[in-house]
Amino acid sequence: MRGLLYKDWSLVINSYKYNFLLLLVFYALLTALLKMTFLAYAMVFVVGMYAASTTSMDENSHWDAYARTLPVTPGQLVAVKYLLTLFFTAVGVILSFVLLQLVPQGVSTLAEEVLGLSSATLVTMLYFSLTIPLSYRFGAVRARSWVTVALLLVIAAPAALLLAMPEQARGWLEGALGALSAQVSAGSLTEAQFCFAAAAGMLVLCVVFLAISWGVSVQIYRKKGF
């Protein structure tokens, strides 16, 4: 397992070290000088997706055919991508938080930064969770189109579900959201508490996405011929 991690780690570092340094300097300057905080949050996604690119490298070098001869399970081979993505996403979160501190005080609060970083992490995990199984199923190149389609479906699904909900259920949902907004306005639930609670919920969703994605990816990888 350590050898697999080292293999993918080496691929990422050797392929992206200069890109990463340039990106870090560029994002830091724009964030600090122009107060473009969205670039700091974008750092989470960019760095977090580095590990996903190893699937195309593996495909081009026919690594998976060789990996089948090694004493490792499909679950371990697939898990490496997820572990590295978690690591690089964590690095991205730390770097993003540091970049946000370069912005003059008053632009955003700590709670807002935590909520923003959690949102960026959720987007990264969702995109990655779609990319890996689709890459194993259709190939790294074709998977890009399928990921776009899947994202559109994910975005459209809540709207379609809301429209399909019975009037009573929709009214209950609107009432619950209104009550939550009233609590924040009344001060019984502070903005900071709301941000931290929402961030915690997003992190739970990240775990759910990754667990489902890993299970699906392992099944696809196990059945695929290389």
- Residue 182 has a pLDDT of 65
Q: Residue-wise pLDDT tens for the chain (226 aa)?
A: 788 888 899 989 998 889 889 988 888 888 888 778 888 899 999 999 998 888 888 888 888 888 888 888 889 999 999 999 999 999 999 999 998 888 776 567 888 889 999 999 999 999 999 999 999 998 888 888 888 888 888 777 777 777 777 777 666 666 666 666 666 566 666 778 888 888 999 999 999 999 999 999 999 988 876 5
- Domain layout of the chain by residue ranges: 2-223
Write the DSSP assignment of the chain as a string of letters: -HHHHHHHHHHHHHHHHHHHHHHHHHHHHHHHHH--HHHHHHHHHHHHTTGGGHHHHHHHHTHHHHHTTSS--HHHHHHHHHHHHHHHHHHHHHHHHHHHTTSPTTS--HHHHHHHHHHHHHHHHHHHHHHHHHHHHH-HHHHHHHHHHHHHHHHHHHHHHHHHS-HHHHHHHHHHHHHHHHHHHHTSS-HHHHHHHHHHHHHHHHHHHHHHHHHHHHHHHHH---
- Residue 190 has a pLDDT of 78
